[in-house]
Structure 1
Amino acid sequence: MLKTVDYFFMYSLFAIWILLLFNAWLSFAGYSFFQETEEKKIDVVRGITNHPTISILVPAHNEEKVIERSVMAMLKMDYPKSKRELIVINDNSEDNTGAILENIKSRYPFENLKIITTDSITGGRGKANALNTGLQHANGDYIVVYDADNTPEVMSLRYLVYEITNSKEYGAVIGKFRTRNKDTNLLTRFINIETLSFQWMIQGGRWKRFRLCLLPGTNFIVRKDLLEQIGGWDSKAIAEDTELSIRIYMNGYKIAFMPKAVSWEQEPETLRVWFKQRTRWVKGNIYVLSKYLFPLPKCSGSILIDLYYRLLESCLFFFAVISSDIIFILGLLNISKISLPGNFIIIWMLAYILFILEISINLTMEKGEYNLSNFLLVVMMYLTYCQCWIAVCLSGIYSYIKDSIFKREHIWYKTERF
């Protein structure tokens, strides 16, 4: 007779394998898309015959450590100066961010650099509110968003413009972001592998299979008229990028992936900062799911399917991993063992090998990333870094419920810079 632990084991086994197989399928799709992109000859100098006007928005809150390097990188991007403006929203900063920005403006008086400064009344209420403030001052036909720690490559803006102006069905186009400080410590190396896998598997793979992408928080271009039509960013959303993505699809547009548009960003260098950042992501995704799925679905088509997938992934897979870990520990302590016949160590090993395989496929798409050091990190990753996400998810769920009960307004939590 089957025991309770057997049922939990079968559930966790089924849920984990379904997601692993699906992600492996996406990884191969991402690899196919990568090959297509590499083979496609794109001349972004001759390819853009009519340069549209561009407004670059950079929300900045207490960014004195990184803002000068980021702004200088953006000013150096290859795009006609008469057709672009850089708008930095100095959002209620309490450090030297404002002074650094004014110094840059005085040194480069011929650059179209605007500094919008808010205080505790007009700002300080999160990234979405800061972007909406910047949008009010934007004159461009298209809006480009970078985080304050980003240093985009010289040609990245041209690639974004090239892609969005070559298709009327694209409401936005996303680029690729890389980890600047990947060699700092073990955590940043894990994050580097995670971000590369996410982009080629979730963005590249889904774009190839479903023509579906979601905005990241940085390095993307969106039509200004579309933004104004849908009311800008949702100021209540912590994951403002995901929330905006849904409304873009609801208005009949698509979001494309242009991996040749590259921006480098700084990732958390301590577990404490990483944990706070990822907890915020979890809270933001819960908000999006609750807004568009409950009590009734408020969208349709591929984006609705994607939301249901996210819900199933968040619930089924998350609890499957917890169940699997608990069963494994109970077995080691000889408290409760599985009574099902079969060698489940082999099944677990096969799942582990599949995990290593799909991550390794994603690493092969980045020059210099598929090496022995990163391969050994992938081998370690499931038992270390991935398990930390359990605590992150639990913390995010708890924090979201607590904020909902006490009706707390979202305030800006900026990832600490180094």
Structure 2
Amino acid sequence: MSILDYFLFLAVLSIWGILVVNVVLTIAGYVNYLQKVRRPEPQLPVKVPFVSIMVPAHNEGIVIVKTLQSLLNFDYPKDRYEIIINDNSDDNSAELLGEVQSLYPHRNLKVINTDKTNGGKGKSNALNIGLKQARGSLISIYDADNTPQRTALRYLVAELMSDQRLAAVIGKFRTRNKNASILTRFINIETLSFQWMAQAGREKLFKLCTIPGTNYVIRRDILEKIGGWDVKALAEDTEISFRVYRMGYRIRFQPLAVTWEQEPQTLDVWFHQRTRWVKGNIYVILKNARLLFTKTGRPIRFDLLYFLSIYFLLMTSLILSDSMFVLSVAGIAHSDLVGFSNILWLMAIITFVISTFVTITTEKGEMTIANLMIIVFMYLVYSQMWLAVAAHGMVGYVREQVFHQQAKWYKTKRYQ
């Protein structure tokens, strides 16, 4: 075997290792799903806690009214929650919010109009500002493009109050504009697969869940104990999840709590948003990497290894595998393992398609032939798009560190 054969073998071994882990997570997630659908709905305690819902909003005039109407329509007791909008906008957001306030004068609706000195510095900063004015013992977060179902907040709070060991409870998010483009069809399947594979599977096997950026509740006293959100973190949700686990608390996934969110409809918007995610997760990985084999880091060890594998090992292996395939077809390089590699590649596609399709069978209306074809296309195209994003995000992160540049928060474009 040549040196290229050894590298290709290691690359294929790495890809299949991570694929097998994901298959195991999918099976565990599906078992978790079957168990959760049989459980009775969680019930609110007699003394209903007061909740502060925070919506970090910057130039969200296109979507903010619809979001606010959904939040005001919760079936949670109306006098037991308030809504706080963090606003540092130069569009018509402030005017629209003022109109909604006038329509609901007796509701607990606040708008924090920050300026350039203290606002416009990313989601974490906005949430910290809102926390200072929040009155609730529980804090709930929703993104400005969300339309949660009426029952979402009630389910989240009821689940959280059922167990004092829980620091937070996260819900499920669905794609409300899934039919807008082929890209949103990809994202729709990606989010469903992520929740039942990465969330429910990790919860079942390792009692681990990662807080998403929206549709969750968290105890205020724990938030204050850990010092709020890290303003340097672009992936503030993953970062705060790790700190919660290191404190000895748990996070639970409650799929009955559903929100519908708007996803990027164009490649440019998707690329910038996902690049921000990659940079944010690399920051979290490197911030916690020293804890990998310490007693303090034990609660987050699987996630650290998983993220390290996805962002470093898998990316390197895919680049090497793809490069060898192209060079072999072009006749520039030859490897005795290319044929063997291609067979494993075909088997990987089949495994990916089956495991992903299993995850979407949990959702009504998603188990279709069209989605099956989309999943096949996802492996061939969408996975390669993610590879480009991961490489771009990693290079961008390194450049920012070398030149001591502050990471900028990319504002995701909204649609009507």
The structural deviation recorded for 1:408 is 2.1
Unaligned runs of 5+ in 1: none
CA distance in 1, matches of 2:409, 2:69: 25
Inter-CA distance 296–51: structure 2 relative to 1 (3 Å threshold): closer
1:247-290 per-position Cα deviation (integer Å, ceiling 9, x unaligned): 11111101110011000000000000000000000100111112
Partner of residue 386 from structure 2, selected from 381, 385, 389: 389
**1:210-221 correspondence runs (5 A):** 210-221=206-217
SS state at 2:380 partner: coil
CA distance in 2, matches of 1:28, 1:273: 33
Letter of the structure 2 residue corresponding to residue 33 of structure 1: N
**1:343-382 correspondence runs (5 A):** 343-382=340-379
Unaligned runs of 5+ in 2: none
Cα RMSD (Å) of the superposition? Answer: 1.5
Larger deviation, residues 327-336 vs 275-284 = 327-336
Inter-CA distance 397–108: structure 2 relative to 1 (3 Å threshold): same
How many positions carry a matched residue from both structures? 414
Inter-CA distance 140–199: structure 2 relative to 1 (3 Å threshold): same
The reply to whether residue 157 of structure 1 matches residue 153 of structure 2 is yes
1:348-406 per-position Cα deviation (integer Å, ceiling 9, x unaligned): 21111001011011111111111011000001111101101111011111111121122
CA distance in 2, matches of 1:292, 1:308: 11
Partner of residue 74 from structure 2, selected from 77, 84, 89: 77
CA distance in 1, matches of 2:29, 2:292: 33
CA distance in 2, matches of 1:166, 1:83: 18
**1:166-245 correspondence runs (5 A):** 166-245=162-241
CA distance in 2, matches of 1:52, 1:253: 20
Partner of residue 61 from structure 2, selected from 55, 61, 64: 64
Tell me if the contact between 2:25 and 2:202 (Cα under 8 Å) persists in the aligned partners.
yes
The reply to whether residue 275 of structure 1 matches residue 274 of structure 2 is no
SS state at 1:383 partner: helix
SS state at 1:195 partner: helix
Tell me if the contact between 1:59 and 1:130 (Cα under 8 Å) persists in the aligned partners.
yes
Letter of the structure 2 residue corresponding to residue 5 of structure 1: L
> Which residue in 2 is equivalent to 1:147?
143
1:296-332 per-position Cα deviation (integer Å, ceiling 9, x unaligned): 8774213033212211222111111111111111121
> Which residue in 2 is equivalent to 1:331?
328
1:59-82 per-position Cα deviation (integer Å, ceiling 9, x unaligned): 001101000000000000111111
Inter-CA distance 12–104: structure 2 relative to 1 (3 Å threshold): same
The structural deviation recorded for 1:37 is 1.1
> Which residue in 2 is equivalent to 1:116?
112
State percent identity of aligned pairs: 48
Tell me if the contact between 1:123 and 1:130 (Cα under 8 Å) persists in the aligned partners.
yes
The structural deviation recorded for 1:43 is 5.4
Q: TM-score, normalised by structure 2?
A: 0.97
Q: TM-score, normalised by structure 1?
A: 0.96
Tell me if the contact between 2:8 and 2:337 (Cα under 8 Å) persists in the aligned partners.
no
CA distance in 2, matches of 1:186, 1:414: 22
> Which residue in 2 is equivalent to 1:7?
6
The structural deviation recorded for 1:178 is 0.3
CA distance in 1, matches of 2:344, 2:57: 48
Larger deviation, residues 303-312 vs 142-151 = 303-312
Inter-CA distance 341–266: structure 2 relative to 1 (3 Å threshold): closer
The structural deviation recorded for 1:291 is 1.2
> Which residue in 2 is equivalent to 1:55?
52
CA distance in 2, matches of 1:342, 1:411: 44
The structural deviation recorded for 1:140 is 0.6
Inter-CA distance 99–311: structure 2 relative to 1 (3 Å threshold): same
CA distance in 1, matches of 2:407, 2:337: 48
